[in-house]
Structure 1
Amino acid sequence: MADTLTLGWIGLGKMGLPISTRLAGAGRDIAGFDRDQERIAEAAAGGVTPAATLEDAAGRDIVFTSLPDDKALRAVALDGPLLSAMRKGAILVETSTVSPGISAELGAAAERAGILYLRAPVSGNAAIAHTGNLTCFVSGPRAAFDTFLPVAQDFTRAQKYLGTQEEARYAKLSVNLMIAVSAAMMGESIVLARKGNLAWQDILDVLTNSAVGSPMVHYKAKSLETRDFNSTFSCRQMAKDLDLIVGAGHAAEMAMPLATLTREIYGALIGRGDGEADFIAPVRLAEWLAGLGEPDLDKNDGRLA
């Protein structure tokens, strides 16, 4: 049955474009819509059927949204035509990182419209989205998840069903909190080692081969070998997610000291002009606070002397 499902994709941005073209490459019947005609053309080149309007993409068995923030989701799904354009009994799969609050609003509106709503934020970045190595956390009606699962397996390596309400939203925010705090810690640790006159590559090797050598540390150490700060997920995007994280924590009546401090680190990076740099850029801020310039890797391998 899953192979005959028709798919619609709304939002062909950094994540939506590679995921939708991967689904097309897997033989899925998928139509894509974005306000940017160039993105629609790129998706079409990857096998996605161009949708002239949002309504054309929404009239399918499973409709995905991949949108930048709460404001965009509200404009498309709550104030816009999405739900009214969908078939009753169709499945809406929302893949973005948004607040539990707006997600709950959408859940209530979808239920009134007879739409089955799955919260399915993906974990991973645009650099790997085309490879199928993303993961997704899912909450919503179990039967809808069972229908969606074969499609999810075409673009993710792991899928975790978590419950019927906003559990997936909290899971994604929890993961992103760990990533953000880890990036800030990694930056400060590297600069402490520089102050102790470790060579740049030596401290990266120490971190990756120690007890803290998580997959994220391994991944980011590789780009830091050449101080590559080209964005896979930007400081500005991380700041947005940290705002959601702190807001969710406060709504749950819990203190968020680490999240709040880390948000200020990313705010400082944005203020210094690093908003579009990769989220591992806290190393730059830590260097500046420590009175260090960027290491000359060619001349002294990052040592101070």
Structure 2
Amino acid sequence: MNKDIGFLGLGKMGLPMARHLAANGHSISGFDLVADRNLAAQAAGLRIAESALRLVTECATIVSSLPNDDALEETARVIAASARAGSVYIDTSTVSIEASARVATVLSAAGIAYLRCTVSGNNHMAEAAQLTVMVSGPRETFDEARAIFNSWGATCFYLGDAEQARLMKLVINLMIMLTSGMLAEALTLGRKGGLDWNDMWQVISASAVASPIVKAKAAMLGRRDFSPTFTVQQMRKDVGLILDAGAGLNVPLGLTATAAQWLASAAAQGGAEDDYAYVIKVVEQAAAMDSSAV
């Protein structure tokens, strides 16, 4: 696969992913609609294209990290209209299955190979090249692009030729969100019953329920630090996608629906830009407890 890669979207996830590609010998041109992100990418040694259109026309392989369905579909339209025939488009965004399927139709008509490449992990894991990579799309294109995926993490799964990677990402994020919901109820129960906050975290971290995500949260939440690795608002978007997928497949997602309400309460209380684990405070407040400290 051509080592000249265009990277669209240089935010908290996109920039470190683009940097890892450059470190592994790829020639990277980047672009973001936010000027400050372009400056940060330039300071990190990446070349910045004049525009998204210029990037698309110059690079045979295009990677994107985008915020939502609308951004994905607009990017796909530009690629379909302007990219070279035989180009490859790899999108790493968390978007709906329906939007991704529409993009597949548009790109197929233009002769563009399309890989849905979702990643599991936060921005710190992106910085450390420790993402779990999940890919679906043409198998031959996936095989050719393995060096790209290996730049982002040691674990990569090929899941099928269509939207499987999109659905798998939603499955993972459902479990991540419900882990915070589980912690919210469990910690509130223990705290209101008189257990010490730090004692609970020590026991939980050493117990059978100490999954990697629980251990990753333990250090910060043990200090009641809700600085975001993934915000309430970002998780609300993903939970909305999960609920839509459940509705489309006739799968009842009662626990996820409850989590959506907790996230709405967190946003209403001013926690939209805090970590999604803010739902702990929501449950504490529902239990008539002081959520400001322990």
Is TM (by shorter chain) over 0.5?
yes
Q: Which amino acid aligns with 2:289?
A: L
Task: Please give the residue correspondences for 1:99-110 in structure 2 after superposition, counting only pairs within 5 Å.
Answer: 99-110=96-107
Q: Of residues 199, 202, 218 in structure 1, which corresponds to 2:199?
A: 202
* 1:274 matched to 2:271: yes
Q: Which amino acid aligns with 2:259?
A: T
Q: Of residues 121, 124, 145 in structure 2, which corresponds to 1:124?
A: 121
Report the equivalent of 2:22.
Answer: 24
Of all paired residues, the percent bearing the same amino acid is: 37
* 1:215 matched to 2:212: yes
Report the equivalent of 1:156.
Answer: 153
Output one character per residue of 1:19-43: Cα deviation in whole Å (capped at 9) or x when no partner: 1122222221010011122211211
Q: Which amino acid aligns with 1:49?
A: R
TM-score (norm 2): 0.96
Q: Unpaired segments of 5 or more residues in structure 1?
A: 297-301
Output one character per residue of 1:187-219: Cα deviation in whole Å (capped at 9) or x when no partner: 111111101211111101121111111000001
Q: Of residues 256, 259, 262 in structure 2, which corresponds to 1:262?
A: 259
Task: Please give the residue correspondences for 1:49-64 in structure 2 after superposition, counting only pairs within 5 Å.
Answer: 49-58=47-56, 59-64=58-63
Report the equivalent of 1:186.
Answer: 183
Do the aligned residues in 2 keep the contact of 1:110 with 1:117 (CA within 8 Å)? Answer: yes
Do the aligned residues in 2 keep the contact of 1:117 with 1:140 (CA within 8 Å)? Answer: yes
Do the aligned residues in 1 keep the contact of 2:116 with 2:165 (CA within 8 Å)? Answer: yes
Report the equivalent of 2:242.
Answer: 245
Output one character per residue of 1:1-25: Cα deviation in whole Å (capped at 9) or x when no partner: x5x5211101111211121122222
CA-based RMSD of the aligned residues comes to 1.3
TM-score (norm 1): 0.93
Q: Distance in 2 between matches of 1:62 and 1:30?
A: 10
Corresponding residue pairs, total: 293
Aligned-pair distance for 1:128? 2.0
Report the equivalent of 1:70.
Answer: 69
Runs of 4+ with >3 A deviation: none
Output one character per residue of 1:103-151: Cα deviation in whole Å (capped at 9) or x when no partner: 0000111110000000001111112211100111100000110111111
Aligned-pair distance for 1:89? 1.2
Report the equivalent of 1:8.
Answer: 6
Q: Which amino acid aligns with 2:104?
A: G
Q: Unpaired segments of 5 or more residues in structure 2?
A: none
Report SS of the residue matched to 2:202. Answer: helix
